[in-house]
Amino acid sequence: MKVLVIGGGGREHALAWKLAQGERVQTVFVAPGNAGTAADPALHNVPLTDPAELADFVAAEKVALTVVGPEAPLAAGIVDLFRARGLRIFGPTQAAAQLESSKAYAKDFMQRHGIPTALYATFTEAAAAHAHVERHGAPIVVKADGLAAGKGVVVAMTAAEAHAAIDAMLGKPGERVVIEDFMAGEEASFIVVCDGRHVLPLATSQDHKRIGDGDTGPNTGGMGAYSPAPVVTPNVHAKVMHEIIQPTLDGMARDGVPFTGFLYAGLMIDGQGQPRTVEFNCRLGDPEAQVILLRLKSDLFEVLMHATEGTLDKVELQWDRRIALGVVMAAHGYPASPRKGDVITGLPVVAGADVEVFHAGTAPQGSQIVTSGGRVLCVTALADSVRQAQQRAVDVVRQIGFDGAQWRSDIGHRAIRH
């Protein structure tokens, strides 16, 4: 069977790598892919991004299943387009993808369905938003209403930061911000596979959003991740399923927008083990996907075929019991202005079977590979402990070089503390 993965980041490399291991899978196309998917003999890059052209390609190649990696094509309605043409695709419809593409929609949905989250207010007028910050003080959270590649959220520790965020996010007609109470606790990523009615939790994970060691510096899309997340104890897991995930799936179905696809609940878990929802994403996390998929032993193709048939209740997932940990290597200037075109040395790496180097912002240039985006690579390793997995990943990171490379040596520090 043929499979298409849409996207070109680290998450999509990991998805394609895992799908290619499927027993019934003969070919995995990646559109547009990156230098890592180009170099893998099991994968084939396709230079397409336009949804209609992708649908034509899938129809012509008789692709059995399309899997969408990033949020942008989902928010643009690629699932609706494919379904209208009778093509099998895994992901949420445009209406369901609003759980990620509109923070205001998501907050309103959570309030209506009693899903635990922070109190919030939505604003289109800067003056009213500023007045709200004056009344409530800091810390406070300001979110742009729309897709912002994980960077449209400012956790303002001072009122001045909140005011600056409002000014940066509001101004043009139609722009909205959601301002919500600050939630204290530890974050975790809880990602599930949904078929509209049934839900199958993936292994838990946690990412590190700040650029620098010790969680310092600006927010990024994620500088590393590990799985499982020890903060999600069996008790917390049961609460998340019962109080957040199942009510979300049921609520979406009741609202007439059944959710199919990966549903990612970003959680804040307080000191009493009470989870609340920070945000929803309608896709796998990046770099969470890289660590989760490295631990998945089941055949992902079969899982997602069930998900597109509404039979996820027939599936049980098998996991590697070890820890997976991924260290992102980011470009010079990331996140503000990542530089492209730096030559990457040391690839492919010499590493054991328990290490995978997933590419993201990489491109072939003649016989070399160069940086072509903010997050360049995610070196992902399996080991019996977080410390060993961290060591294994960092050892491989040190074999790879490019000018201005930024990476963190402390990924997993919260799990080590646990």
Binding stretches for ligand GLY (CB under 6 A): 150, 207, 221-222, 281, 285-286, 288
Cis peptide before 348 (omega within 30 of 0): yes
Smallest separation (angstroms) from ligand GLY to the CB of 221 = 6
Smallest separation (angstroms) from ligand GLY to the CB of 98 = 16
H-assigned helices in 170-223: none
Q: Which one, of 313, 277, 263, lies nearest residue 96 by Cα? A: 263
CB atoms closer than 10 angstroms to residue 389: 29
Give CA angle at 121 (148, 164), nearest 5°: 55
- 98 is written with which tokens? 């609003």
Nearer to ligand GLY, 122 or 189 (CB): 189
CB atoms closer than 10 angstroms to residue 157: 12
Say if CB 415 and CB 206 are below 8 A apart.
yes
Nearer to ligand GLY, 151 or 197 (CB): 151
Sequence-separated (6 or more) residues with CB below 8 Å from residue 277 = 110, 115, 116, 117, 244, 265, 266, 267, 268
Smallest separation (angstroms) from ligand GLY to the CB of 103 = 13
Break the chain down into helix, strand, coil percent, rounded to 5. Answer: 30, 30, 40
Give CA angle at 39 (45, 52), nearest 5°: 5
Smallest separation (angstroms) from ligand GLY to the CB of 208 = 9
Nearer to ligand GLY, 255 or 410 (CB): 410
Nearer to ligand GLY, 107 or 208 (CB): 208
Smallest separation (angstroms) from ligand GLY to the CB of 303 = 20
Nearer to ligand GLY, 203 or 347 (CB): 203
Rg (CA), the chain: 20
Q: Which residues does residue 140 pair with via DSSP β-bridges, in sequence order?
A: 156, 181
- 295 is written with which tokens? 């631990």
Smallest separation (angstroms) from ligand GLY to the CB of 288 = 6
Nearer to ligand GLY, 40 or 207 (CB): 207
Nearer to ligand GLY, 180 or 207 (CB): 207
- DSSP structural state of residue 70: S
Sequence-separated (6 or more) residues with CB below 8 Å from residue 10 = 286, 287, 289, 290, 328, 358, 359, 360, 375, 377, 378
Smallest separation (angstroms) from ligand GLY to the CB of 238 = 24
Nearer to ligand GLY, 64 or 378 (CB): 378
Nearer to ligand GLY, 286 or 356 (CB): 286
Smallest separation (angstroms) from ligand GLY to the CB of 225 = 7
Say if CB 2 and CB 64 are below 8 A apart.
yes
CA–CA gap between residue 361 and residue 340 (Å, rounded): 9
Smallest separation (angstroms) from ligand GLY to the CB of 73 = 15
